[in-house]
């Protein structure tokens, strides 16, 4: 016999009735079945639970439409000497003038930007680059240090994260900055933040992300690539995977494998829009300023971040293939793998590159009593 709604069943208590959804307590909070809001608190306070229908719908704002979201974290990463800093200053200059973006998207109203730079000089590098990019210098706010009270009076000290996030947020709100560039992120981290530990990084970036959301500014964080070669682009950035996890958009700056003087800005991650196509740029000398400026390509590049970062392996693989083909021509017939590895090592070819070259040349291996044999 079926138990009726609300009936007592031995060993099971009352049977639940049909689901009718949670009941509101009239304050936008929920009274969950069998629970009241008073039951859902701990020593830190009450938990706030709302139905999705009670959350106002919001649209994503953009600084660079489809690429750099307002009020969110964006990461730009790449190897040293790939012109990451020059490129991010070009983006900052466009914010200050309201200029169109490289892909043709319209610019917004001119707005200030905050610049934090730990690697380049303000007077000899950053200002000339901003001038070369056509920036409104009055709207480029260079955050060199923070004045603090010391034992013998006011003193200047570098910005430290997360300690200075609240101070930076107030600075953003007072200036109306639409973008904050932190170049490079690792240089501004407190010694209490371990950039290689996921939990430590996520706590910092959660605070930084909340500050960006509160002020509506786009926070652009620059970091270097690690020393790994190949592999998924998601894992090429230096430090914890928590950095890329917290960012809503991530871009890799890569040297073009086919042209060492050409750079490419490729999408690694895009949570808030369709993945934007890769866009290339070159550096053009500005002799009277002693720096270079960015000259963007007129059209997108068809290659993805995965293809471009895999391309970093191409020179090593090509060299290994050429060497192995020549070595086999001089040593026809089966060859002991140990001898082959030793010969390759003498000319600087790694075991991994040799393995890929062997597969490229369709050379098989056989295990014998004397060990592995190639060919």
Closest to 240 in 3D by CA, of 193, 183, 180, 191: 193
220 and 340, same domain (yes or no): no
195-226 pLDDT per residue, tens: 888 888 999 999 999 999 999 999 999 999 98
Give the per-residue pLDDT at 157: 84
Phi-psi domain of 342 (left: phi exceeds 0; alpha: psi -120 through 50; beta: other): alpha
**Does residue 6 lie in a domain region?**
no
* Whether 190 and 323 share a structural domain: no
Residues 217-253: tens digit of each pLDDT: 999 999 999 877 777 899 889 988 999 999 999 999 9
Residues 252 and 288 in one domain: yes
Residues 140 and 226 in one domain: yes
Range of the domain at 370: 313-374
- The verdict on residue 16 lying in a domain is no
Domain boundary among 303, 325, 358: 303
CATH code, domain carrying 177:
3.40.50.300
41-62 pLDDT, tens digit per residue, is: 556 667 778 888 888 999 999 9
Domain count, the chain: 3
Looking at the structure, tell me whether residues 231 and 253 fall in a common domain. yes
143-186, pLDDT tens digit by residue?
988 887 777 777 788 899 999 999 999 999 999 999 999 999 99
Q: How far is CA 180 from the centre of its chain?
A: 15
Q: Average per-residue pLDDT in the chain?
A: 85
Residues belonging to the chain? 375
Indicate if 33 and 115 belong to the same structural domain.
Answer: no
Average pLDDT for 83-103: 98
Residues 28 and 96 in one domain: no
Residues 269 and 329 in one domain: no
209 and 334 both lie in a single domain: no
Domain contains 74: yes
Tell me, yes or no, whether 118 lies in a domain.
yes
Q: Is residue 162 part of a domain?
A: yes
HSE-CB of 242 using CA atoms within 13 angstroms: 16
273 and 124: one domain?
yes
Q: Where among 12, 32, 52 does a domain terminate? A: 52
**In this structure, is residue 14 part of a structural domain?**
no
The H-assigned helical ranges of 216-313 are 241-246, 305-310
Helix (H) or strand (E) segment spanning residue 149: strand 146-150
Q: What confidence category does residue 5 fall into, taking pLDDT thresholds of 50, 70 and 90?
A: very low
- End-of-domain residue from the set 303, 327, 349: 303
Q: Which distant-in-sequence residues (6+ apart) come within 8 Å of 352 by Cβ?
A: none
Structural domain includes residue 11: no
């Amino acid at each position: 016999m079926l138990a009726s709604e609300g009936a007592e069943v031995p060993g099971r208590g009352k049977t639940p009735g049909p689901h009718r959804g949670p009941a509101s307590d009239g304050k936008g909070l929920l009274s969950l079945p069998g629970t009241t809001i008073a039951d859902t608190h701990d020593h830190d306070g009450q938990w706030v639970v709302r139905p999705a229908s009670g959350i106002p719908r919001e649209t994503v704002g953009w600084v660079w439409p489809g690429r750099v979201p307002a009020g969110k974290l964006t990461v730009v990463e790449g190897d040293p000497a790939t012109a990451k800093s020059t490129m991010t200053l070009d983006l900052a200059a466009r914010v200050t003038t309201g200029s169109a973006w490289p892909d043709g998207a319209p610019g917004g109203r001119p707005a200030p930007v905050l610049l934090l730079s730990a690697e380049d000089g303000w007077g000899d590098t950053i200002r000339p680059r901003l001038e070369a990019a056509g920036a409104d210098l009055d709207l480029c706010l260079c955050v060199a240090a923070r004045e603090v009270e010391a034992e013998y009076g006011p003193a200047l000290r570098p910005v430290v994260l997360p300690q200075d996030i609240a101070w930076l947020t107030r600075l953003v709100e007072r200036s109306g900055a639409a973008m904050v560039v932190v170049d490079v992120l690792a240089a501004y981290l407190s010694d209490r933040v371990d950039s290689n530990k996921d939990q430590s990084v996520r706590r910092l970036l959660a605070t930084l992300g909340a500050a960006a959301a509160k002020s509506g500014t786009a926070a652009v964080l620059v970091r270097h690539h690690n020393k790994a070669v190949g592999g998924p682009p998601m894992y090429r950035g230096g430090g914890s995977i928590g950095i890329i996890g917290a960012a809503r958009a991530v871009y890799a700056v890569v040297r073009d494998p086919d042209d060492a003087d050409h750079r490419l800005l490729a999408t690694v991650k895009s949570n808030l829009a369709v993945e934007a196509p890769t866009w290339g740029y070159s550096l053009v000398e500005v002799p009277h300023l002693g720096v270079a400026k960015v000259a963007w390509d007129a059209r997108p590049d068809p290659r993805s971040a995965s293809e471009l970062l895999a391309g970093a392996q191409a020179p090593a693989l090509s060299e290994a293939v050429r060497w192995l083909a020549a070595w086999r021509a001089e040593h026809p017939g089966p060859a002991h793998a140990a001898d082959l590895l030793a010969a390759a090592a003498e000319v600087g070819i790694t075991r991994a590159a040799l393995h890929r070259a062997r597969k490229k040349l369709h050379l098989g291996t056989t295990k014998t009593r004397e060990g592995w044999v190639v060919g």
